[in-house]
Amino acid sequence: MTDFIHTHWIELTGASLGLLYLYFEYKADIRIWATGILMSLFYVYVYIANEFYAFATINVYYIIAQIYGWIKWTRKTGEEKPLCYMPLKYIAPLSGITVLLFIFLGVLLAKMGESTVAWGDSFITSLSIIAIWMLSRKYIEQWIPLIIANLASAFIFYYQGLYPTSLMYAVYFVVSIFGYFNWKRMT
């Protein structure tokens, strides 16, 4: 057990921060952003080491997006903005962007030829990019792409042998379902 902890301490730290991040997201707590930045820093390393190149890249994006989200949540008044429903006019464009990202990243990663999970990585990454943008605007529907991405992540990371990360995403999947209903209740 100590060998596992010694070998996987970066992943275990990232997963622990990820669970804290999820708690703050569930509560719509502004501390989500600082925790997310730290988690992403750990996971850039974990994903590169395990050939999840799109996920490593998305974690760099997450760092930038989390800074943006933090600013967005506190903009103007210095207080947190309320949760809200996403305008219907965003559904078609966001769906189209998700599909285009999926295809672009899938082709790019497949051509790189280094990843054995290029299309799964692309699928999860595409959903995650859209979800964090929605989160930055406090759209309740941000949970929907997260539910799908978290379920897929639990399976793909298990398949790759990243068991702490797989467990973290299995917990994310369950909590995301509850988070969706909690945010609806909080509106």
Question: How many angstroms from the chain centroid is the CA of residue 12?
Answer: 17
Report pTM. Answer: 0.84
Question: Which pLDDT band, with edges at 50, 70 and 90, does 123 fall under?
Answer: very high
| pLDDT for 89 beyond 90 | yes
Tens digit of each residue's pLDDT (9 = 90 or more) over 105-116: 899 888 887 677
Mean pLDDT for the stretch of residues 86-94: 97
Q: What is the pLDDT of residue 88?
A: 97
85: Cβ–Cβ under 8 A, 6 or more apart, which residues? 139, 140, 141, 187
13: Cβ–Cβ under 8 A, 6 or more apart, which residues? 42
Query: What tokens does 1 get?
Result: 């057990």
Answer whether 150's CB lies under 8 Å from 175's CB. Answer: no
From the list 9, 31, 47, the residue with the least C-alpha distance to 169 is: 47
Average pLDDT of the chain, as a whole number: 89
**Rounded distance between C-alpha atoms, residue 73 and residue 83, angstroms:** 10
Mean pLDDT for the stretch of residues 165-176: 92
From the list 165, 175, 173, 174, the residue with the least C-alpha distance to 17 is: 165
Tens digit of each residue's pLDDT (9 = 90 or more) over 42-77: 999 988 888 777 778 878 988 999 999 989 888 766
Q: What is the pLDDT of residue 79?
A: 58
Q: Say which range, 67-76, 86-95, 118-127, 137-146, has the weakest mean pLDDT.
A: 67-76
Q: What is the pLDDT of residue 92?
A: 97
101: Cβ–Cβ under 8 A, 6 or more apart, which residues? 122, 125, 126, 129, 130
